[in-house]
Amino acid sequence: MTHHRAECFAVNKIMTVTTERAIVARATYPLPPTLNDQINSARSHWSKSAATKKRWTNTIALLSKDLPVFPGPVWLELFYSVRTFARDADNISASRKFLMDGLCQAGIIKNDNLTIVQSPILEWFERGKVDQVTIVISSRPIVEICKRSAIVE
């Protein structure tokens, strides 16, 4: 069995692991506006929702500046930590729009279309003390990495 040399470093809530086979990064962000938040904002006035989108995209881009660049396809796993489970999963998942646009703006991923972002996009929900989301970005399928890690360890 071959062990791959890995370099790990953590900066704030960012963790990156690089091996010969994959780049894997994890970052935690405050939870962006959910779908209901976005709809309510747009109903009040289009400029309000546009300003919210711009502010959150810029915030995610700024918080992502220490992540490695992923030059090709990526696989994603998101862990949503929410204070209450009385919210719809699809409502919370819509906040991913701000994450993806921020990662693109920061140059971490080339694009957020389906030529770059591969299926499946895994999502998990858990109770937490604060609303936040942790995203894992990988240059290889996450399931493949987990299987290899279980075999190697």
Given a cut of 50, whether residue 2 has pLDDT beyond it is: no
Higher pLDDT, 43 or 143: 43
Global pTM reads: 0.80
Given a cut of 60, whether residue 136 has pLDDT beyond it is: yes
The residues, ordered by sequence, that sit 6+ positions from 92 with a Cβ below 8 Å of its Cβ are: 31, 34, 80, 82, 125
* pLDDT at 34 (0 to 100): 85
Neighbours of 2 (CB within 10 A): 6
CA angle 63, 143, 138 (to 5 degrees): 30
Long-range CB pairs of 64-67 (<8 Å, 24+ gap) are 64/27, 64/102, 64/103, 64/106, 64/108, 65/106, 66/11, 66/12, 66/14, 67/14, 67/16, 67/25, 67/27, 67/103, 67/106, 67/108, 67/137
